Structures are given as structure tokens and as C-alpha cells.
Amino acid sequence: MLMFSFMYLSGVLYFSFKRKHLLLMLLSLEFMIISLFLGLSLYFYNFSYEEFFLMIFLTFSVCESALGLSILVSLMRVYGNDYFSTFNLLW
């Protein structure tokens, strides 16, 4: 269980350090979701709980990643890069 919490915390640290690139932020969010999924699956299999929640969790995480990628593609088409510093032009 310690390994999954280390994976999650390293994803959080990477998310906070690479906050200027949208693609790197999305990748670190996916890493955190994968580490949460691995930890939950180990927890559910250890205590013989119902694993149906894992399918719901995977469904929501896939929807979240598809939405993030669509936002990334639309921003890349409009601005040409994924830096957050160029998005200040919106204000």
C-alpha cells in the first residue's frame, strides 16, 4: 500500500512542478488516476469487496481523459502550443 501512496504523491509533485504545460499536467493526472486504480483494486481484492466500483471508476477516468485531450487539441489548434503563459491573452 505504501508503493501506491508514493506513486500518487509523486504524481501530485509532478503536477505541481510542471504547471506550465497542459499536456504534462494531463499526463500526471492520468498517472495519479492509474495509481489510485491500482491501490483500489488491491484493496478490493484483499478484502473481497465487489469490484464493480472499479469499472465505474475506470469509466469516469476514461471520460475525464477524453475531455482533457479534446480541450488540449482545441487549444493547440487555436494558440499553437500548450503553454499556460500564452493563455493570458484571454483576459
Ordered per-residue pLDDT tens for the chain, 91 residues: 788 889 999 999 998 998 778 888 889 999 999 999 999 888 888 887 777 889 999 999 999 999 988 988 888 887 777 776 666 655 5
Residue 54 cell numbers, joined: 472499479
Q: Which helix (H) or strand (E) element contains residue 25?
A: helix 22-46
Reported pTM = 0.81
- In angstroms, rounded to a whole number, what is the distance separating the alpha carbons of residues 38 and 35? 5
What's the domain count of the chain? Answer: 1
Classify residue 29: in a domain, yes or no: yes
Give the domain range for residue 21: 2-86
Is residue 91 one of the residues assigned to a domain? no
Q: Would you state the pLDDT for residue 88?
A: 62
CB 30 within 8 A of CB 65: yes
pLDDT at position 2 is 83
